[in-house]
Amino acid sequence: MKITRCKLNRKIQIKLLEFFIAEVTARTAADLLGIQPNSAALFYRKIRQIIMYHLDQDAIEVFQGQIELDESYFGGARKGKRGRGAAGKVIVFGLLKRNSKVYT
């Protein structure tokens, strides 16, 4: 999948992509590049659609066959409660595809 019917020139597209990666809002990116905010917002939406398309393709591969699910809590140097009530811990959820990769 690729971006189609985009009237922005290639240089501006590349700069918008850099701003997208740097988590700059579409409105701010438009102001910095001197383009209409709606043009930047449309370009950002197209980038998100491409990302969603590729994630869907990966999901089809991941969820075929047998998989195992598990969650765990990491971090929290403080002693105290264990499990879900523990303060300062990060929840990590993982998928294991049999004879393949681990996804977190």
Domain count, the chain: 2
Q: Two tokens at 79?
A: 């002693």
pLDDT at position 34: 95
User: How many whole angstroms separate alpha carbon 33 and alpha carbon 10?
Assistant: 13
Residue 4 has pLDDT above 80, yes or no: no
The CB density around residue 26, as the number of other CB atoms within 10 Å, is 19
16 and 54 part of one domain: yes
User: How many whole angstroms separate alpha carbon 34 and alpha carbon 103?
Assistant: 41
pLDDT at position 1: 67
User: What distance separates the 2 farthest-apart alpha carbons in the chain?
Assistant: 58
Query: Does 21 fall in a domain?
Result: yes
Q: Two tokens at 73?
A: 């809590």
Query: Does 26 fall in a domain?
Result: yes
The pLDDT tens digits of the residues spanning 34-92 come to 999 999 999 999 999 999 888 888 777 767 777 888 888 777 666 666 666 666 777 88
Of 11-15, 18-22, 31-35, 89-93, which range is least confident?
Answer: 89-93
Indicate yes or no: pTM above 0.85.
Answer: no
77 and 53 part of one domain: no
